């Protein structure tokens, strides 16, 4: 967790002197079932190839195409692009209540709590086309919710970890569609990404 939250946890324990806070931080969070499929591949390149083929096939039939990366797909991407594997362990990605939920085991002194980031996704203009960006409205350690500013340092690491933008640079089919991303949405079971035919306007509602 690279200092942005762990120092705060220690401060809470020392300043508050609260057994309740310690219990909450070290308690196992309620994450529900393991990440669900379907799986589009066990590696980042395999997922990119599968999604590229699916998007191209859809655009041959209609002006808009949408693919959904499942919780298992997102977990594969997060593990493959984990910026600090020694610090963020046992990464898993789920979708809960309209947000992407990323969990990891972290170290806080002698303790190994589970950190959980609740993430929303949006599409913003970029120099090379639309960019999928992450916002983190909530960070928890165990069952202890931390103040909003505690997650600010995670934004770039979450972007790197989920690596949805990088996914579009791996195979030619997706690279060709990079500028034509029209929507991104967290949907039941995963994240939907939509693209459009270059000859027509984007339709933000196509992701559902």
pLDDT in tens, 134-166: 888 878 876 667 765 555 555 556 666 666 888
- Greatest Cα pair distance, the chain, in angstroms, is 63
pLDDT higher for 141 or 125?
Answer: 125
Cis geometry, peptide bond prior to residue 190 (ω within 30 degrees of 0): no
pLDDT range class, residue 2, cuts 50, 70, 90: very low
Higher pLDDT pick, 8 / 106 = 106
More confident residue, 37 or 12: 37
Rounded to 5 degrees, φ, ψ at 7 are: -60, -40
Q: Is the model more confident about 195 or about 3?
A: 195
- 28-34 CB contacts, 8 Å cutoff, 24+ apart: 28/114, 28/142, 28/143, 29/103, 29/114, 29/116, 29/140, 29/142, 29/143, 30/143, 31/92, 31/94, 31/96, 31/101, 31/103, 31/116, 32/94, 32/96, 33/94, 34/92
Task: Kindly tell me if the per-residue pLDDT of 191 is higher than 60.
Answer: yes
pTM score of the predicted model: 0.83
Out of 123-132, 142-151, 194-203, pick the least confident: 142-151
Bigger pLDDT: 181 vs 157: 181
Average pLDDT on 42-71 reads 94
């Amino acid at each position: 967790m690279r200092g942005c939250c762990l120092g705060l946890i220690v401060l809470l324990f020392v300043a508050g002197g609260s057994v309740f806070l310690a219990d909450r931080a070290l308690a196992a969070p309620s994450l529900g079932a393991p990440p669900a499929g379907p799986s589009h591949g066990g590696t980042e390149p395999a997922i990119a190839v599968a999604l590229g083929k699916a998007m191209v096939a859809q655009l041959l039939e209609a002006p808009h195409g949408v693919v959904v990366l499942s919780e298992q797909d997102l977990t594969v991407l997060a593990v493959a692009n984990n910026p600090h594997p020694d610090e963020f362990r046992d990464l898993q990605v789920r979708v809960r209540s309209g947000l992407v939920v990323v969990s990891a085991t972290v170290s806080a002194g002698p303790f190994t709590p589970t950190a959980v980031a609740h993430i929303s996704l949006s599409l913003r203009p970029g120099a090379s086309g639309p960019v999928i960006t992450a916002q983190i409205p909530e960070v928890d350690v165990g069952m202890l919710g931390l103040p909003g500013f505690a997650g600010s340092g995670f934004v770039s690491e979450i972007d790197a970890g989920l690596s949805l933008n990088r996914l579009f640079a791996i195979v030619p089919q997706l690279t060709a569609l990079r500028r034509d991303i029209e929507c991104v949405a967290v949907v039941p079971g995963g994240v939907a990404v939509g693209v459009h035919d270059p000859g027509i306007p984007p339709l933000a509602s196509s992701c559902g």
